[in-house]
Chain A
Amino acid sequence: MSRILVVEDNEGNLELIRVVLEMAGHEVIGAPSADVGLLAARKARPDLILMDMHLPGLDGYEATRIIKADETLKNIPVIAVTAITERTDEERVRACGCEGFIAKPVDTRSLATQINEFLKPGGKAQ
């Protein structure tokens, strides 16, 4: 079981990811904005962060840069949850420091497996 912080501003989508990950046995902390997400990351020390990139105010790219520049947080893998439609999107996600991405709309059937890939010691995020 891992503790996963999900930063997502859409209530429905947050709930969806929460249900799927909880059914897979994870503990989920939800944050509706990047600000709350950063706060939660510092307080709760999650094992992994799922980051919606398109957020009001501080967006996911900026939030990830802040996490990756923070000595105490930078080792937590950040996985972008975003609709990647072009190569440039993927480059942007990588450039801000995300360890990987999960395509939107999330596939409820494979989300848990995709997450586990990043949680495995020596897995994708390492």
Chain B
Amino acid sequence: MNVEKDRRTKELLKAVRLKTQFLGNMSHELRTPLNSIIGFSELLMDGLVGELSEKQGHYMKIIHSSGAHLLRLINDILDFSKLEAGMLEVFNEPTDLSEVLEEVLRTYSVIVERKGIEVHVDIPPDLPPMLTDRRKLTQIIDNLLSNSVKFTNQGRVELAAKRKEGMLEVTVTDTGIGIEPQELPYIFDPFHQVDASTTRRYEGTGLGLALVKKLLQIQKGTIEVQSSPAQGSSFTFRLPFVEFKPEKPAVATTREELIQGLPAAGERPILVVEDNPLAANLMSMWLSEAGYNVQIASTGEEALQKAVTLCPAVITLDILLPQMDGWRVLHRLKEMPETKDTPIIVVSIVEDKSFGLSLGAVDYMIKPVSRSNLISKIERLTKSGRRFHRVLVIDDNPADISLVEEILQLDGYEVLKATSGVDGLKAARDEKPDLVILDLMMPDLDGFDVMRLLESDEATRGLPIILFTAKDLTQIERANLGTNIHDIFGKTQLDRDSFRQKIAELLTSSQPEGSNE
């Protein structure tokens, strides 16, 4: 039974992935030739490659606007398919509504002027920035405004926003052609164009309003419409208004603040995210026997909540979860300051290790997992206190530091940075890192000097060093490297996996300095 279910889930997942891939490729393949059509017709139209006759200019305009229209269609269809497949993610960020409006209105300034319509905007001047998906909000307003401008030939378009009962309420009103009452129930249906004859007169994709409604739905928003023929229409949408407060609340955000006041890694619970109660119980039993405090979350939402409130030492994460799947949970966990450094092991039947690691998981286990394997992985992450290891990166190039930092953070190390040999030495003495990653070619004090000085100082003698350099070392240079040089990695074509592995090897054998275990 279970085998059959697993097989079908696997197949389903594969199908979803193929569909995503197909959509992505298709949109690229369609956009590429369109890029040429739109671009070259623009050049010709602007007379940059010679004057066109009036007729030629007119035809060129048709080619250009048809290309642009086709592009809009493709974009809308793609968005719509993604929405249907549940593949559009919501990214909330601080958003200033007036900035969004300004951006959208700018696109319509020419056509509004040409048509002689008046545009009126009414936003309370004290409306604070909100946390919402800026891109999607822009898309929603853009679609509504585009309709209003399109269907209004005289009079005005009015855009009013206010904050009401915890929601942002935006109304777009126009004095356009309006909608017949019998059409109103269908206007949010995909590909429904009010009266087929208007399709010709008013170019559109027939997806605009359907998209708007879906975009709102995935963000717990609503939309309604009032309209009378020849009088005009009024669309009102509501979205949860989460005020963005620039001064951070009392939540600890830096690593140091977070770690302080937390029990040692060994005492914090292991959070098992698993919707199958049998599997959850089994893992829980194994881990409890090994002396861990285990907590279980059976949905993605619960996992996110518990990850914040329980401060687990390690999270094991199943991928096939109801509603919010494990990939999304992983992505969110790595986004939130409270949880971004918590080591996460993916435990799943889905074989996509590289994707999991690229999203920030420290390890990936394919089900069924064995008891010993699970325990040893968890032990490595908790007992060694790997999370507390500090790595000092000394490099004069900030881009290289960022690259190394990005890799180190995958494994949850704390990264100390120094952009010169002098700063590096100081940090090595004061911050007591567990490992140094050192560039050789630096102005003033170069890497060789740094190595010698680290070795000559009582406080830093014996500190393991990995060289990270673009320089090809000569035989003599290699021979003269101290015993603390554990490996050399070239900056060009860095093999990330062996780099990570080497670091892990060096660190798991040592107890982290400054950890309270």
Which A residues lie at the B interface, using CB under 8 A? 10, 12-13, 15-16, 19-20, 23, 54, 66, 68-71, 74, 83, 85-88, 95, 97, 104-109
Contacts and interface: CB of A to CB of B under 8 A. Distances in A.
A106 B39 contact: yes
Nearest to B68: A105
Contact of A108 (B42, B93, B400, B493): B42
A86 B71 CA distance: 16
A83 B28 contact: yes
B35 A74 contact: no
Contacts, number: 82
Contacts of B28: 54, 83
21 contacts: A10-B32, A10-B33, A10-B36, A12-B35, A13-B36, A16-B39, A69-B491, A69-B492, A70-B491, A71-B397, A71-B491, A71-B492, A83-B27, A85-B75, A85-B79, A87-B91, A88-B89, A88-B91, A104-B35, A105-B31, A108-B39
Nearest to B491: A69
Contact of A105 (B71, B88, B397, B441): B71
Contacts of B42: 107-109
B35 A106 contact: yes
Contact of A85 (B78, B400, B441): B78
A91 B43 CA distance: 31
A83 to B, nearest CB: 6
Contacts of A106: 35, 39
B476 interface: no
Contacts of B494: 69
Nearest to A74: B399
B122 interface: no
Contacts of B93: 87
A105 B491 contact: no
Contacts of A16: 35-36, 39-40, 43
A108 B491 CA distance: 37
Which of A15, A70, A83, A88 has the most B CB atoms < 10 Å from its CB?
A: A83
B471 to A, nearest CB: 8
Contacts of A68: 399, 403
A97 B71 CA distance: 29
Nearest to A87: B91
B135 A87 contact: yes
A44 to B, nearest CB: 19
Nearest to B43: A108
Given A85-B75, A109-B42, A70 B35 contact: no
A74 B49 CA distance: 36
B39 A69 contact: no
Given A10-B33, A12-B40, A95-B406, 14 more contacts: A10-B36, A12-B36, A13-B35, A15-B36, A16-B35, A20-B39, A74-B397, A83-B28, A85-B78, A86-B88, A88-B91, A104-B35, A107-B42, A108-B43
B441 A71 contact: yes
Nearest to B496: A65
B258 interface: no
B35 A66 contact: no
The 4 closest A-B pairs by CB, nearest first: A12-B36, A71-B470, A105-B35, A16-B39
Interface in B22-62: 27-28, 31-36, 38-40, 42-43, 46, 48-49
Contacts of B88: 86
Contacts of A23: 48
B81 to A, nearest CB: 12
B39 A66 contact: no
B43 A104 contact: no
Nearest to A99: B399
A68 B404 CA distance: 12
Contacts of A66: 492-493
B33 A70 contact: no
Contacts of A69: 400, 403, 470, 491-494
Interface string B487-508: 0000111100000000000000
Nearest to B27: A83
A51 B492 CA distance: 19
A87 B93 CA distance: 10
A68 B492 CA distance: 9
Nearest to A69: B491
Contacts of B492: 66, 69-71
Contacts of A105: 31, 34-35, 38-39, 71
Contacts of A12: 33, 35-36, 40
